[in-house]
Amino acid sequence: MERPEPAFRAPARLGRSGAIEADLAWLEMHLARQPQDLRSHSRRVLLARRSGNREAIYGALVDLFIALAGRGVGLKSALLSQTAMQLGPPERLCLARHLASGLRADQSIEPHPRRSVLSHGLIGKPSPELSGESP
C-alpha cells in the first residue's frame, strides 16, 4: 500500500511537546475537510487551550459551534467553561450568547475568529438591500 505524503498523514500523537502549533494546523486542515468530526473538534479545543493561544482557542470553539449548530449544548458548554479564562470578555460573551443556537458559517461573527476554518469570514452587518429589508 502506498503511504500518503507527510502533509496528509495524521500526526502519530497529537500534543507532542514543541509540536502543538503544527498539530493545531493539521487539525484545522482536517476539520476543514471533515467538519462533522466531533472528536477532532474537541481535541483541537483542548490542544489550543494547552497552547495558551487565545485566537486558536476562539477559532476552535467557533468551528465547534458552527459544526454543531443547535445540537450538543452540553459539549459546547463544557469546552467553553474549560477555556473561558483564556478568552477575552468579547469572545466569551459571543459564545455564551450562541450556546443553544450555535453559529452559522455564513453569519457575521464578532469578534472576528481569525483561526476559524469553517466561518466564511463575514464582518459587519448586511445592508438592507441584501437582506431583503426595506431601509
pLDDT band at 131 (very low <50, low <70, confident <90, very high): low
Tell me how far the alpha carbon of residue 26 is from its chain's centroid: 13
**Backbone conformation region of residue 52, classed left if phi is above 0, alpha if psi is from -120 to 50, else beta:** left
Let me know if 44 is exposed, middle or buried by CB neighbors in 10 A (0-12, 13-18, 19+).
Answer: buried
The angle that helices 54-68 and 20-33 make with each other, rounded to 10 degrees, is 20
pLDDT, tens only, 41-82? 999 999 999 999 999 999 999 999 999 999 999 999 999 999
d(Cα 100, Cα 114) in Å, to the nearest integer?
23
